[in-house]
Structure 1
């Protein structure tokens, strides 16, 4: 899951004092919001090491801001894991999830993740707002997120079985570490992060591919100042969460991943709404 991070200071000079950037290289409005909206990237790309250090600083800052909601989700998932492995009486609940997944097939993650991250999360956002009125923008967000995360759920439906074939279906530390490494440092870096960042950029640019093209070049600067901070911040949440999800049997990993991402995004929505009310 990705959210916007921006920097209110330029990715500035190194210790040598010989690097200087003009005002157009600055990224403004430090904020944390759900919809990804990349700012105009600099015409003169900053130095690579400055971009990396700035991205790490932003990522760590965002991880600190979202630590409490992350801790809630981690605790909830840990409790579910304890229930599953220590309280056999709860197995009928998990069996129901498995049965629903078997009956619905690919529609299970598409509809489940689409409805939860799309419409349910948007409903929570409206209820957390001051007006509590469902607007046309809320409808657009809900439909867009339904499609975006429905496709993400579909990809996960096919990816998880492949990972079990490649790395094993057990929950030993070696198997879990391999799956998490592939999930976070291959799949997320190469596909999930670009997919979501570009999708939200496209939406926030009025669904204009030409506007997106202008925003993302030079790509090195766009990736270093816009995509990398988001990636680092999300690693802080999803690396521990991925270990928990992959510790479950294969047939339960997808439903619990959908549950985790739904609760996580809803908490971020409430956090963003509370922050907005506090500043008004």
Structure 2
């Protein structure tokens, strides 16, 4: 029998059946979630109220923190509830909400590429920095990132709302994700799968190329500096951004490198837990270094 998606509930994969391990996982997720939300809210608050944090990089960081809070909030509380109660079911609407914010992560990739451009201007064109990275330009950059993120999400999500599902509604994934959901659908999902892959690959490659290109020029410029002290200071300016770029893109690459079928679920879920709980929390420890400079 076919059921319309709006009437469906899904069963998410359990992290473990070991009661002692469940307590450990619950404590870990709760602590990292509280640190993540507190840290990112603090960054947003400080960049709004501090007159010393009004440069372009902090404006971008402010917008970067918001998707982190949203993404971890739609995923981690659900995992906490599931771990504490043993209830692994999730409604279709809640699953669609997770998917929306999951794909909204594309906004973070665009923001990372814009932040790399900001580093490029700061190091390679310091005398023109204020002119190039004016408040008006920064607002347009951020608007571009959010609009592009929504444009990438909307077509796939709209098509996904019309999917129908059979009796099999078990999702081998911790949060709801496009690939395992499409596998459970009775509808023809070929076109939707190709659209999701195309949007993901296009976003990943475009933004990664922008980041790499920026850092090629940055590295070439820094190596021309006459003193080691100047080179060290220049690299230090970009260090926080390079760490976040490495973690974000590295996690994404890890998820989409397909190991054997037996290992794929465990590895992907481990990376998903890392990206939803630990990565947003790292902003609390990485970027405050930049704020103290």
TM norm structure 2: 0.28
TM norm structure 1: 0.29
Larger radius of gyration: 2
